[in-house]
Structure 1
Amino acid sequence: MPSPSRPAVPAKPRPPKALELATVDEDDLRDEGAYTGLGFYDLDLTGRSAKGAEFDQCRFNRTDLSGSSFVKVSLTDCLVESSNFANLHGDQSSLLRVAVKDSRLTGLQWLDGVLRDVTLRDCRIDLSVFRATKFGAVLFEDCNLAGADFTGADLTGATFARCDLTGAQFSAAIMDGARLTDCALSGIGGVTSFAGATISTGDLIALSHTLAAALNITVSDGRSTDDTPGGRT
């Protein structure tokens, strides 16, 4: 049997030649906005909305975008660090060559979108929703994804390393090519979608119990009732 191919390594963001600090007065989010080479540092941009905006070679550091709404917004060659994107709603939006680190994305909704060449490390992404989103060369590393919803997502190019996926939903997801290593998988839904995925031995043991429950399989220790205390004599 041939060994599984190595996962695609996400390409790194291409840094800008120069970075100009953004201000709320001049660089607030707006429809069709074009933001290039800007550093969004320590800015409160909560509850904003933007349609068709483009962020190129931007850096977000300690920026609060929680509760904002994106429609057909793209982030390309961007860095996100120690920022708050909790409950941000993204519809038909894309991340291309983006690195996210040590940030809060709890309740993020990224629907019918695209993530390509994206790395997320040490992030809280619990209760997030990625329905019908396509993942190409995406690495989740040391992330909390408890309760995340990947229903109908194409996870062909996704890798999950040391992530908490407790209670995550994978119904109707495409998992052929996805990889999971040292992840918490208890209580996940849609386990039958894992066909074609590569899973570490430790993860497979935990996954087997969930799969058995999904298929209504009774797991026995192999002993008959006659051998148990109180059994027939």
Structure 2
Amino acid sequence: MFILKKCSHEECESLCLAEEPYCPEHLADPKVVERRILEELISGKDFRGRSFSLINFEDTDLSGKNFENCSFSHCSFNRVDFSGTRFNLTFFDFCDIEETIFKGCDLTNTVFAGARINKTIYKGSEIVNCNFNGSEILNSDFSDSDLYLSRFVNSNLAKLDFVDCNLKRTDFSGSDRKQIKFKYSNIEEALFKGEDR
């Protein structure tokens, strides 16, 4: 299992960059470390128990990979392609995710809590038992996906498509929802805790 470590610099409470001993502020050259990690991610296929926290990903193809027990906590993703990638127990908590593709992914047990997600595609994915609690999700598409047991509790949701999705036991309690399309989805099996749908 990955471990998120605090910076080794005296009196610094920041998180370390990926698996380095220091945070970006106290590394000699954090861009060199980011490039090395990006090269490893692009050339590799299977990653288990790794931390990639605090990295900025932009215009990167990470399709067809496997991530298990990994952390991308506090990362930034801009125009990243994860198509066909398998994630299990992987953390994207408190990430900024923009114009990113998770099409045809297996996202079982993945955490997006507190994330800010915009213009992102999750279409045709297995999004089973995922945690989107407290996140802000805008202008994104979850159509043709299985969201069984996933949670969007206390999330801000606007301009989203959940067309032809399995929403059995998907929890939207306390969420603020605007312009959401649930066409052809089993909305009656989702949880709203007495709220209007």
Settle same-fold status: TM greater than 0.5: yes
Partner of 1:79: 96
The aligned amino acid for 2:156 is: L
Partner of 2:39: 25
Question: Residue 119 of structure 1 is aligned with which of 136, 147, 152?
Answer: 136
Partner deviation per Cα, 1:155-199 (whole Å, 9 max, x = no partner): 2133321122111113533221xxxxxxxxxxxxxxxxxxx1225
Computed over aligned residues only, the root mean square deviation of the Cα atoms, in angstroms, reads 2.1
Cα offset for 1:139?
Answer: 2.3
Gaps of 5+ in 1: 1-15, 177-195, 200-233
The aligned amino acid for 2:96 is: L
Question: Residue 74 of structure 2 is aligned with which of 32, 38, 57?
Answer: 57
- 2:176 and 2:106 map into 1 onto residues whose CA distance is 23
Cα offset for 1:76?
Answer: 1.6
Partner of 1:39: 56
Cα offset for 1:17?
Answer: 7.0
Say which SS state the counterpart of residue 198 (structure 1) adopts: coil
- 1:160 and 1:89 map into 2 onto residues whose CA distance is 25
Say which SS state the counterpart of residue 26 (structure 1) adopts: helix
Gaps of 5+ in 2: 1-22
TM-score normalised to structure 2 length: 0.75
Cα offset for 1:62?
Answer: 0.6
Partner deviation per Cα, 1:115-142 (whole Å, 9 max, x = no partner): 2111111112211221012222122211
- Residues 66, 97 of structure 1: CA spacing in aligned structure 2 closer, same or farther, 3 A cutoff? same
Query: In the comparison of the two structures, how many residue pairs are matched?
Result: 165
Whether the aligned pair in 1 keeps the contact of 2:154 and 2:172 (CA below 8 Å) is no
Whether the aligned pair in 1 keeps the contact of 2:80 and 2:99 (CA below 8 Å) is yes
TM-score normalised to structure 1 length: 0.64
User: Which structure: larger Rg?
Assistant: 1
Cα offset for 1:27?
Answer: 3.8
Whether the aligned pair in 1 keeps the contact of 2:60 and 2:81 (CA below 8 Å) is yes
Partner of 1:197: 195
Give % identity: 15
Cα offset for 1:78?
Answer: 0.3
- 1:115 and 1:92 map into 2 onto residues whose CA distance is 11
**Most deviating of 149-158 and 45-54:** 149-158
